[in-house]
A and B are shown apart, each in its own frame.
Chain A
C-alpha cells in the first residue's frame, strides 16, 4: 500500500468572481522511502499540491490518504496532529523562531506532541547530531549562517520521526554551494529510508531526485519513470566530513 494516495484531487479558488483551478484532477501514489521532486513554474499549482499533501490545506474534491488516515475530510485538529507526528516541513526561509536557541527550535514540534522535557532534549540533540549541528545547540538562529539555519530546520523536521518530509524550495535562499550541501543532506535522508519530497521550480535541483513530477496548469504534465530516472544520486562521492558550510 502506498504511503500517500491521491485520487482526482481538485482545488479551486474564487478570486473576485473568477474561478481559479489550482489543481485539476491530480492522482498520485507515493511509496514509503521515495525521494521525489515536484517541479513546475510558479503558478502551476505545485505549492498548492504540497500544501494539500502536507495537510496544511484541504482539497475541494477528491480523496487523499496518508497511511491509513483519510485526510480530505479530517478536522483541523486531526490535521494539526498529523502535521505534528507524520509530516516534517522545511521552508525556503527556514522559519526558525529568533527568540529560541537552536535546540529549543528543534524541540518545538515535541511541545505540541507533549513529550517530557528530558525526552525533548535528548531527541533534539539526536536530531541535531544527525545534521552536524550539535555544537551550535545553544546559539540563536541569527548567529548562524543560512546553511546552518536550514540544517537546524531539517533537524526540526526530523525530530518527531515523520513519515514524510516536505521541503519547499529548500535551497531557494542559499548560495549554490550551500544549496548543494543541503540537497546532499536530503539525499542522505533518502538513503536512510526516509520519504522526502522536494518542491522546486528549478529542474537542476529536481534532477537530484530519482522521481520527478512535473505540474503544469494544475495537472500532472509529465512524470518521469522512476525506473528510467533512477540514476545514481549526484552526491555519492561527497562524504560527511566534507560537508562543511562555506557561508
Chain B
C-alpha cells in the first residue's frame, strides 16, 4: 500500500515536469529504438543469408576451388594438371556418395546486341547438369543438350536481366520480349539465344514492383516510363548469367590460351552435390582421394561447403550484431546518464522537500524507493514509447533503402529493448536515490 502510493508520488513528479520528463525520456526512447532496430536488421540479414543458400543450390552443394599447394609440395606443384574435365569424369565414375558433378569453365565476356552491350556476372561453359546444380528454371526456350555439347554449338541460355539489358525490360517497353532465336555476340562471336531463365526475385521485390506499377497506373497525363532502378539484391547474380556448352567455351574462347597450341583445358570450378548431408565428410574424403589421384598427389584444391560459408557468414553477422548491440547499448547508456543527471538536478532542487518528507516520517528507504520510482517511470515510459518508435525507424529505413534484407522485428528484440530500458532506469536511479535517502533531515530542512 505504502509503496504503491510512493509510486504514485513518483509518477506525479514526472508528470508535473512533463516537458523535462519527455526530453529525458528521449534518450531512452532512441536507445530502445536503436536496440530493437539493430536486432531487427541483423535478424533480416540472417534470414537473407539462409535464403541465399537455398537460392544458390542448398546446403549439400560443395565448390571445389583452387588453393595454394602446401609448402612441402612446392617442388611438385607444377606436375599437377589442375582441375580438368578428367577430374569430373573420375568423380562421376568413382565418387559414389555424390549425386551431381558439374564442371564450370568461366571466362570474361562482353555481350552485345545491336548497339547495346552488357557484362554478365557469370559467363560459363557448363554441362546441362548445371541447370539442376544451380536450381535454374527456364522461362522461354530450352536448355542446351548433350548434342549441343558434343557438337560445340554456338548457343547460349541467358538470365532475365541480360535479356532486359539487351532487348529491353518488360516494364519500360510494356511487352515481354522473348529473346529465343535472337543472335547476340559474346566477345564478338555470334551465339543464338536458345533459352532464358525465369526472372528470380524476392517477395519484397515483387511487392515493391506491384506498388510501383499501381503508382504508375494512377498517374495522369502522358505516359512516362521510368522503369525500375537497377538494384542489387540476392538474385542479382543469378539473373545476370550466360551459360553456353562447355565444349563451345573450350574451343572458342580457350583455344589460344593453352600451351602447345592446345586449348587450355582447365576448369574454373567443379560443383558437386552430396547425395546425403549425413555423409558429407565421407563424401568429401572420397572426392579428395580421387582428386589427389588425378592431380598426381598435389593438394592444389580445397572445398568450399555452404556449411563453412555459413559458419564464416554467421561469425560476421555475430560480430555485426555485437557491434550494433554495443552501439545501441551506448545510446541507452547515454539515455541513462540523462536520467541520472536530471534526477540529481531534481533532488537538488527538492532538498527542502525531501527534508520535509523525512520530518513527516519518511524512512530512508521510502525516499530511496520514491526517487527510484521516478527514474524507473522515466525509463519504462521511454521504453514503451521506444518500442513503437523502433517500428517507425525500421519503416523509415526500408523506405530509404528498399532492399532484400528486410529487417524483422522479433518479440525477443522487443522484450530485450524493454528490459534494457527498465534496467537503465533502475541503474540510473540508484545513485540519485541513494544520495537523496542519505540526506541529513536537519540540513535538508534548512537548505535554502
Question: How distant is the Cα of A76 from the Cα of B362 in the complex, in angstroms?
Answer: 10
Segment at the B interface, from A91-99, A143-151, A186-194, A228-236: A91-99
A74 to chain B, nearest CB (A): 12
**A77-B364, A80-B361, A95-B353 known; 13 other A-B pairs, CB under 8 Å?**
A76-B363, A80-B366, A84-B360, A95-B355, A97-B356, A99-B13, A111-B5, A112-B357, A112-B360, A112-B366, A113-B361, A117-B5, A160-B361
CB-defined contacts of B445 to chain A, threshold 8 Å: 56, 91, 95
* A91-B445, A95-B352, A95-B356 given; A111·B364 CB < 8 A: no
B350 to chain A, nearest CB (A): 9
Question: How distant is the Cα of A169 from the Cα of B258 in the complex, in angstroms?
Answer: 110
CB-contacts of B408-448 with A (<8 A): 441-442, 445
Structural contact, A81 and B442, CB atoms closer than 8 A: no
A85: Cβ under 8 A from any B Cβ? yes
Give 1 or 0 for each of B3-38: 1 = CB within 8 Å of chain A CB.
Answer: 001100100110010000000000000000000000
A19 to chain B, nearest CB (A): 19
A205: Cβ under 8 A from any B Cβ? no
Structural contact, B16 and A80, CB atoms closer than 8 A: no
* Chain A minimum-CB-distance residue to B448: A93
A207: Cβ under 8 A from any B Cβ? no
Structural contact, A108 and B360, CB atoms closer than 8 A: yes
Structural contact, A112 and B2, CB atoms closer than 8 A: yes
Structural contact, B442 and A116, CB atoms closer than 8 A: no
Interface size class of B (residues with CB under 8 A): 20 to 34
B1: Cβ under 8 A from any A Cβ? yes
Question: How distant is the Cα of A116 from the Cα of B360 in the complex, in angstroms?
Answer: 17
- DSSP majority for the B interface? helix
A109: Cβ under 8 A from any B Cβ? yes
B59 to chain A, nearest CB (A): 64
Interface size class of A (residues with CB under 8 A): 20 to 34
Structural contact, A114 and B364, CB atoms closer than 8 A: no
* Chain A minimum-CB-distance residue to B2: A114
Question: How distant is the Cα of A93 from the Cα of B355 in the complex, in angstroms?
Answer: 13
B61: Cβ under 8 A from any A Cβ? no
Give 1 or 0 for each of A61-81: 1 = CB within 8 Å of chain B CB.
Answer: 000000000000000110011
B76: Cβ under 8 A from any A Cβ? no
Structural contact, A99 and B12, CB atoms closer than 8 A: yes
Structural contact, B6 and A83, CB atoms closer than 8 A: no
CB-defined contacts of A217 to chain B, threshold 8 Å: none
A21: Cβ under 8 A from any B Cβ? no
* A95-B352, A99-B12, A99-B13 given; A112·B359 CB < 8 A: no
* Chain B minimum-CB-distance residue to A85: B361
* Chain A minimum-CB-distance residue to B9: A111
Question: How distant is the Cα of A111 from the Cα of B6 in the complex, in angstroms?
Answer: 8
Give 1 or 0 for each of B334-369: 1 = CB within 8 Å of chain A CB.
Answer: 000000000000000000110111111111111000
* A56-B441, A99-B13, A116-B1 given; A83·B359 CB < 8 A: yes
A57: Cβ under 8 A from any B Cβ? yes
Would you list 5 pairs from A and B whose C-beta atoms are within 8 A, ordered by A residue? A54-B359, A91-B445, A95-B359, A99-B13, A156-B360
* A99-B16, A111-B2, A111-B6 given; A89·B360 CB < 8 A: yes
Question: How distant is the Cα of A100 from the Cα of B16 in the complex, in angstroms?
Answer: 10
Query: Which listed residue, A51, A100, A108, A113, touches B442 by the CB 8 Å rule?
Result: A51
Structural contact, B353 and A83, CB atoms closer than 8 A: no
Query: Which listed residue, B353, B358, B359, B441, touches A97 by the CB 8 Å rule?
Result: B353
Structural contact, B363 and A81, CB atoms closer than 8 A: yes
CB-defined contacts of B352 to chain A, threshold 8 Å: 93, 95
CB-defined contacts of B359 to chain A, threshold 8 Å: 54, 56, 83, 89, 91, 95
Top 4 nearest A-B pairs (CB, nearest first) are: A84-B361, A80-B363, A95-B356, A114-B2
Structural contact, A77 and B363, CB atoms closer than 8 A: yes
Question: How distant is the Cα of A114 from the Cα of B1 in the complex, in angstroms?
Answer: 6
Query: Which listed residue, B6, B9, B364, B442, touches A56 by the CB 8 Å rule?
Result: B442
